[in-house]
Chains A and B, each alone.
Chain A
Amino acid sequence: MWFRNTYLKTLREYRIAILGWGIGMGLMMFAVLSAIADLVSTPQARATLVTLAKSFAWIAEPIHVDTPGGYATWKYGFTILVVVLWPILAGSRMLRGEEERGSMDVLLSLPESRARVALRKLAALWTALILIGLIIGLLTFLAGQSVHADFGLGGALLYGLNISVIGGLFGSLALFISQFTQSRRTAAGITGGLLALSIAVDIVHRVVPNTEWFSRLSPVYYYNLSKPLIPSYGTDPVALLVLLIASAVLSGVAVWLFLRRDVGVAQALPGMIHLPARPMTPERALPVNAWSLQSVYSRSLRSMAVPTFWWTFSIAAFAAFMVFIVEQTEQQLKQLYESTPVLAGLIGKVGGGDASTNAALMSFFFVFLPVMLMAFAVTQASRWAADEEDGLQELVLATPQPRLKVILARFGALTTATIIVAVVTLAATVLATVASGLALDWGNLVAASLSIIPMGLLIAALGYLFSGWLRTAIDTGLLSFLLVIWFVITFIGPELNWSEGVMRLSPFYYYGTPIVNGLPVGNMLLIIAVTVVALAIASVRFMRKDIAH
């Protein structure tokens, strides 16, 4: 049945993603809503929650946060947009991925028009997105029922539909961009960057007054106009329509370009924005004398230069932005802490130490830095596994390079990249601190910025270790799962008063709160020791295993 046509075949390829993303993100709603009963157990706690949400309005607009639907909408905020990563990958792969693999040639050799192939694939993507949204909606409804939420099945399903539609928009954007790139990875990377930018642009109007006009440029703004889990707020049909029309236009133009361009060739950009080509005659192509071609280490470093740049930019910008946010809200926060001891306790649990200081709040935000660096490390560990699976190690290992040297050179390049991320983040934070006049302990700031390095290396080493036995998709999935679980333990655990034993399962526990309490030397040594052991086992495994091809 599944191989009857392109639509069913493509839908079959999406089946694991449908279940994985749908159930995974749906179950997160259970975790989020399980906290609501404690948070509104007393009038004082309820008031604290409302005040807290207002202070964190940049995450999401706080509306009726003392109700399950309002709390879930605010708490999930833009984090639910993690689900958009899948349509970005699927959209960039839909046509360009098939062209890269050469399978598009075979597909188009069949008596089926290009338009039909493209539209059937597009229909499969939308079907998958609707199914993901349906699963999220149903699980959200069940999670709501477990806490006697005031939203019904209709609201929950509309919540899922809103996620499907924003996913469809970014999937369509990835499909559109992939018409202009030679590689699906480039298209996915650019679209991922646009997603981050869209989230940032949407945040602006909640942080800076009178900037709503600017935020309207972001698709995420229209996504946030609908809050179906809050019955009194409801769904904005115009916003949904705007997103659907934008998706249709992007997909339509993408398919139109696909019908007119050569298969396997990127659509030329208009002359105004086309980068000038650097012509090279065959006679002058050798010797290249590039530093990046000298060794496995330098080649690896060069290949991760572009993603390292963007991740560095994002992480450093986030850190600097947080400094300004804390400085701007310093006075309000102090008043808040004095009037709401529960809030002080909550911030103190995650931020560490005395919550009446801005350092505690900074510390709370700084826990996001290792999360982001670890996400970067997951992508690079995934590439290590993928390179072997794609046969890219075959010829490298046919040269007289010992396998141990190859794996350590690659890991060394990743180490260099993480050090660059950390050092630039430190520099950006220091500059922002000096510019804003925020009072922070410099030693602790250095410790907080640089101690993210072992965190990134830990998950990378685990990725290298798992890749000794697992295929790339499973390796990446497992690392992502670990990262999400650790994140949940650290950020939801304190609210649920989980035991110290459970909290210790997350590496973020060992990162601690360096901005407040300084470098936890013992904990960092433990993280480094686990990293070294994982890398050592990964190296031994790589030296002894059959190279996949």
Chain B
Amino acid sequence: MTTLVETQGLTKRYGSSRGIEDVTFEIDEGEVFGFLGPNGAGKTTTIRTLMGLLRPTAGSAHIGGLDCWEQSTDVKRLVGYLPGELSLDPNLTGGQILEYFGNLRGGVDQSYLKALIERMGLDPSRKFRQYSSGNKRKIGIVQAFMHRPRLLILDEPTNGLDPLNQQEFDRMVREVRDEGRTVFLSSHILGEVEQTCNRVAIIREGQLVRIGEVAALKDIKRHDVTITFAGDAPLEAFKTLPGVDQAEALADGHSLRLAVSGGLDGVIKAAAQHPVVNLTSQEPSLEEVFLRYYEDDGAVAKEASHVVP
């Protein structure tokens, strides 16, 4: 696998305000890479720095071996970009907008363009100002895909799309992946990221706090375990076990609910010391993982050590 996108200590500050700080990651060719974070976390700043719209304060960003700032024109030949907020000339029709950007890219395959328009169910004869927010988003998606770029950088791509169009969009992303092309997808719709991405990075307050395979992220994070004992629940025996972050007795007096990081071996061995009626373990959804990274302020420094580029 060749590395297509690479950032090294990428930092962007707006005067005294925070932007992003020391963001380092790599994306291999053919990957669908999810970029998660709440509003204001630094997703858009990272993306606009990759697009050469912002100049890094420190560090570097490369796409296809090209510096995103110094060689931004060449970088943009490789990229299809959908910004988070789409601003286009309200007096042009959808068709005119697509033709204009197609010309600025040196021309696009008209039959592919028409196919994309059809798939998204878009009417290109209407003026941009007459479109609903969902249809405006479709224009953005089509213009990002229409020149078959090697890399798609999509900032909150499905905002405003109806479920049918979201499904169609997911299919388009999978097709891109199957063709060996690469997608960098920023989103806070976790189900979408979970379904379409190979790897995920989580950004918080401008810093990357987690990066890894979607499956691995889920695995290493936390299990919610509920154990029902035949007798009274032995709460003290579990509180101090390694990996148990939280332990509480339920109202029935026989059950314990545990939040466990890492493997369950210690918990199961401890439970085996007592007569157990039932044991359930629930794997967290990506959403729960995501929320965990934002639930307390002290987490950034602690979790940053887990960043695996």
A interface residues with partner B (beta carbon < 8 Å) = 100, 182-183, 280-282, 284-290, 293-296, 299, 303, 390-392, 394-402, 544-547, 549
Contact = CB atoms under 8 A, between A and B. Distances in A.
Contacts of A289: 99
B103 A280 contact: no
Interface of B: 48, 51-55, 73-74, 76-77, 79, 81, 83, 85-91, 93-96, 98-101, 103-106, 110, 113-114, 117, 123-125, 129, 143
Contact of B103 (A295, A390, A392, A545): A295
Contacts, number: 102
Contact of A400 (B74, B87, B123, B124): B74
B124 A546 contact: no
Nearest to A399: B104
B123 A287 contact: no
Given A286-B114, A288-B95, A293-B99, 16 more contacts: A281-B125, A285-B93, A285-B94, A285-B95, A286-B98, A288-B96, A289-B99, A303-B89, A394-B87, A395-B81, A395-B83, A395-B86, A398-B51, A400-B73, A400-B74, A400-B104
A296 B100 CA distance: 9
Contacts of B85: 391, 549
A281 B125 CA distance: 7
B189 to A, nearest CB: 22
B125 A282 contact: yes
A293 B125 contact: no
A392 B128 CA distance: 13
Contacts of A282: 123-125
A286 B104 contact: no
B83 A400 contact: no
Nearest to A389: B87
A110 to B, nearest CB: 21
Given A285-B94, A398-B81, A392 B99 contact: no
A293 B143 contact: no
A549 B83 CA distance: 10
A401 B104 contact: yes
A240 B95 CA distance: 51
B68 to A, nearest CB: 12
Contacts of A397: 51-53
Contacts of B129: 182-183
B124 A392 contact: no
Contact of B87 (A100, A285, A390, A546): A390
Contacts of B143: 395
A399 B95 contact: no
Nearest to A264: B129
Contact of A392 (B51, B88, B105, B117): B88
Which of A281, A290, A395, A546 has the most chain B CB atoms closer than 10 A to its own CB? A395
B53 A400 contact: no
A549 B123 CA distance: 27
A287 B102 CA distance: 11
Contacts of B123: 282, 285
A283 to B, nearest CB: 9
Contact of A549 (B48, B74, B117): B48
Contact of B99 (A286, A303, A546): A286
B76 A546 contact: no
Given A296-B104, A395-B101, A549-B48, A183 B90 contact: yes
Given A390-B87, A391-B85, A396 B104 contact: yes
Given A398-B81, A546-B53, A293 B93 contact: no
A299 B87 CA distance: 16
B125 to A, nearest CB: 4
A394 B143 CA distance: 13
A288 B127 CA distance: 13
Contacts of A183: 90-91, 129
B55 A394 contact: no
Contacts of B125: 280-282, 284-285
Given A286-B99, A400-B74, A392 B81 contact: no
A549 B106 CA distance: 26
A290 B74 contact: no
A100 B104 CA distance: 28
A544 B56 CA distance: 11
Contact of A399 (B53, B76, B96, B117): B76
A279 to B, nearest CB: 8
B103 to A, nearest CB: 5
A180 to B, nearest CB: 15
11 contacts: A280-B93, A282-B124, A285-B94, A285-B95, A286-B95, A290-B99, A295-B103, A400-B76, A400-B106, A546-B55, A549-B48
Contacts of A288: 93, 95-96, 99
Contact of A286 (B76, B83, B117): B117
A293 B103 contact: yes
